[in-house]
Amino acid sequence: MLEAWRVLDPHGHGRISFFHFNRAGQSKLGNNYDMKKLWMALDTDHDGFVTLEDLDPELAVLLKEFADVMSRSCGSAAAAWEREFSWSEHGRCNLGRFVRAAAQLGYGRSRRDKGIFEIKAAFNAKHDCKAVFNALNVDMCGVSFKDFELLDKWFKACPSGGWHYSTLRSSVSMPDVRQQVPATCQPMSRPMSRQVSAAGA
């Protein structure tokens, strides 16, 4: 679903208008669907925008909770990436590193656990690091800074007066590290077991 959302919202505004929804839909689906009916079914609050929450509420809640924890710890998800997740020569973070880094910032462990970090018995049942990683790892090559930057954009606070299309502007940001990954990057296989391994960063 997140891959589809990135197609609908290529600039990372966190919400799209009917114009962009219709244009993306027509380019990917052709004339096989009534985009107006789809829009009306998704824009249930009639605010003129569709968000990730409208498309997949459970996924939106999962990612927003993760982004909120990162923001509380570091000020933003992007800052959290720089602080704990970016230790890779290729700008990618694998599952093992992701789980440990998230826990260091309070996601996936109890806040009372301030001693030596142990993944066993340290998980907060409300936090699913593996699910967050898999959702962000769209191209199966690991999570990147760009993914964290998008979390900040998708879940930014509503401005005073509400959302208006004129306020949705593309912002200048760091280059997408996906462009810096060697062409030989091989997709990571998703673990079959639900038990998260702490091996290898």
* pLDDT tens readout for residues 22-36: 888 777 666 667 888
For residue 152, which of 136, 137, 131, 130 has the smallest C-alpha distance? 136
Whole-number Å distance between alpha carbons of 156 and 67: 10
Any domain includes 103: yes
Count structural domains, the chain. Answer: 2
What is the per-residue DSSP string for 29-88?
HTTSS-HHHHHHHH-TT-SS-EEHHHH-HHHHHHHHHHHHHHHHHHSSHHHHIIIII---
Q: How buried is residue 195: exposed, middle or buried, by Cβ count under 10 Å (0-12/13-18/19+)?
A: exposed
Position 95 scores a pLDDT of 94
Whether residues 88 and 20 share a domain: the answer is no
Are 117 and 64 found together in one domain? yes
Please give the pLDDT value at position 45. 82
| pLDDT at residue number 161 | 57
pLDDT given at position 149: 93
CB-CB neighbours of 58 under 10 Å: 10
Is the pTM for the entire model greater than 0.85?
A: no
> What CATH number has the domain bearing residue 11?
1.10.238.10
pLDDT in tens, 105-147: 999 864 444 444 444 334 455 789 999 999 999 999 999 999 9
The strand pairing partners of 144, in sequence order, are 92
Same domain, 42 and 131: no
What does the pLDDT read at residue 20?
82
Question: Which domain-ending residue is among 55, 73, 96?
Answer: 55
Residues 33 and 71 in one domain: no
Q: What is the pLDDT of residue 36?
A: 86
Pair (67, 140) in one structural domain? yes
**pLDDT reported for residue 112:** 46
| Residue 73 phi, psi (nearest 5) | -80, -35
pLDDT at 191: 46
What does the pLDDT read at residue 74?
96
Residue at 19 is within a domain: yes
Q: Is residue 70 part of a domain?
A: yes
Residue 41 neighbours by CB distance under 10 Å: 11
Q: Give yes or no for a contact between 106 and 139, defined as CB atoms under 8 angstroms apart.
A: no
Structural domain contains residue 148: yes
pLDDT for residue 190: 46
18 is in which domain, residue-wise? 1-55
Residues 33 and 91 in one domain: no
Q: What is the mean pLDDT of each run of 10 residues along the chain (201 residues)?
A: 83 85 76 81 86 90 95 95 87 93 85 45 66 94 94 79 54 38 46 44 44
